[in-house]
Amino acid sequence: MKLRLFTAIAATAMAVISCTEDTGIIGSSITNETDKLVYSTGVYNATSRSILADSVYTRNTDYYFGMVKDPETKTYVKSDMMAQFNMIEGFFLPSKDKILSKVDGEVVADSCYISMYVKYPKSFGDTLAAMKMRVSELDSPIDDKYTHYSNFDLKSNGYIRNDGLKVNKMFTVRDLKLTDGNLWSLQNNISKQGTSSDSGYYDRILIPLNIPYTAKNGKTYNNYGTYIIRSYYEHPEYFTNSYRFVHNVCPGFNFEITDGLGVMANIMEIDLQMFYKFQNDTTEAITSIYLSSTPEVLQTAHVTNNKAALKQLVDDNSCTYLKSPAGIFTEVTLPVDEISQAHSTDSLLSVSISFQRENHNIQTGEKPLTTPSNILMVQKDSLYSFFENKTMYDYKRSFLASLGTTNVYTFSNIGNIITLMAQQKANGLKNDANWVANHPDWNKVVLVPIAAATSTSTDYYGNTSSTISAIYNNMGLSSTKLVGGADKPIEVQVIYAKFKE
């Protein structure tokens, strides 16, 4: 009966405790004489420090492309990316005799383009900044998870096909060559992007692939689209799913900024599109093949930032930092022994810790960096495997906190990880007297800025709600300072409970 009662009144107890400091009478107010709970509280200190992120796992759904000057470090941040294209199962083309686009009796694509669609609200910088990119065909697919990290350079590691397709392209995010009507539609849709009112008008960076292309087998085609279409008729089995398509036809493309400064564009989607004419019943029609870079296939990012400048921020012991992309994390050493040993016979009812933001000293006139909306707390030993395995926070080993209205990230109950760490230490010492020395991170967690993917559902009454369906390393430009550092311990507030004997 006591165990059931303890669970049932836990939430009520915490609410009551928050309203009074007199914990001696709480049990009397919510239980009967035979099942009184005795509460006690404790305040302990955690320590924190900034650590270089070095690299982060980049396989996610949120990508950035461009180069900007970080107003905080006064150094440059560049993000390149790689994309593969999804092949939907059941894909087919009309029979060859229906294709009207032909040269010397062989089917061709009339034109071929790559389109990079930009989501404006999450982009940073000037949409009219003149930029230059190089688009390069990959030599082989990227399969190893270690190639999915932000410090992995495809070019220096031999993934770019030396004699493959390469296109240099000058661009601005906002294409002023569009008609006035299309420009108005783009501007009018900015505030609606990602909502139910989204009209589908997005800035697009268009990259023509209408130059001769020579495949690995030595055959030359009038453009890349013709290579794709003819590959379909020669080997339809390569088009039955994404894996076969990527490994036999198109391993993907690398997108690299080669010149320019001033914009970091949030890339919503990349499409490979091929146009051709075909006979539709009694009429001639023009159609296209769309292949998209979707979450079902691989996309990665390569981030270049100034490690020396980041190290200067890391060495600032007056605070700690959270900075993306692939910038700075905050490491927190939790007082596990103190919490566990102070009341060794009591149960942990609640353990909470909060991290207060500090204001940045960005010069007036410079665009401030975005503040991370959500941060993850994860055991340091699990930092990399968490994202590699696409783990979801569970409030046992990992926790999510959102920035509150008072500029605070609050983890309201991390008792589970305190208990877990204490158990891991106890079990380790049973077999190894030097376990703590061999596991120096046993009581450490890391705070990581993250991006969240959400899913929307509608109930029977038509009410919609959104839930977080996946989390990823934040690859956008964001930064915040947290109260902490060597001389500023952070309070950990604990509530204990036990049954009165």
Query: What length does the chain have?
Result: 501
pLDDT of 310 higher than 70: yes
Q: Which position has the higher pLDDT, 467 or 295?
A: 467
pLDDT on residue 193: 86
pLDDT on residue 10: 45
For residues 449, 450, 451, 453, the Cα torsion angle rounded to the nearest 10 degrees is -160
Q: Give the residue among 285, 288, 263, 266 at the shortest CA–CA distance from 275.
A: 288
Mean pLDDT lowest for which of 78-92, 260-274, 296-310, 337-351?
A: 337-351
pLDDT on residue 419: 94
Strand partners, 159: none
**Model's pTM, two decimal places?**
0.88
pLDDT on residue 500: 74
Give the C-alpha distances (Å, rounded to integers) separating 154 from 32, 140, 245, 470, 486. Answer: 68, 11, 20, 26, 38
In the predicted model, what is the mean pLDDT of residues 168-195?
A: 90
Confidence band (pLDDT; 50, 70, 90) for 20?
very low
In the predicted model, what is the mean pLDDT of residues 272-301?
A: 89
In the predicted model, what is the mean pLDDT of residues 91-99?
A: 91
CB 492 within 8 A of CB 8: no
pLDDT of 394 higher than 60: yes
Q: Which position has the higher pLDDT, 78 or 295?
A: 78
In the predicted model, what is the mean pLDDT of residues 52-69?
A: 92
Mean pLDDT lowest for which of 13-22, 33-42, 142-151, 396-405?
A: 13-22
Q: Which position has the higher pLDDT, 366 or 119?
A: 119
pLDDT of 11 higher than 60: no
pLDDT on residue 365: 53
Confidence band (pLDDT; 50, 70, 90) for 376?
very high
pLDDT on residue 25: 38
Q: Give the residue among 452, 409, 448 at the shortest CA–CA distance from 324.
A: 448
In the predicted model, what is the mean pLDDT of residues 201-218?
A: 95
Confidence band (pLDDT; 50, 70, 90) for 28?
very low
Residues 443-489 pLDDT 10s: 999 999 999 888 777 777 778 778 888 899 999 999 999 999 988 99
pLDDT on residue 366: 60
pLDDT on residue 35: 58
What is the bridge-based pairing of β-strands 106-107 and 102-103?
A: antiparallel
pLDDT on residue 433: 95
Cα-to-chain-centroid distance, residue 414: 23
pLDDT of 37 higher than 50: yes
pLDDT of 296 higher than 60: yes
Give 212: exposed, middle or buried? Use CB within 10 Å, 0-12, 13-18, 19+. exposed
- Tokens for 414? 């991390």
Task: Match 């003149």 to its residue by tokens.
Answer: 130
Residues 342-362 pLDDT 10s: 877 788 889 999 999 997 655
CB 482 within 8 A of CB 356: yes
pLDDT of 38 higher than 90: no
**Rounded distance, CA 238 to CA 230, Å?**
12
Mean pLDDT lowest for which of 12-21, 151-160, 230-239, 319-328?
A: 12-21
Percent of the chain with pLDDT over 90: 70
**Rounded distance, CA 139 to CA 133, Å?**
19
pLDDT of 8 higher than 50: no
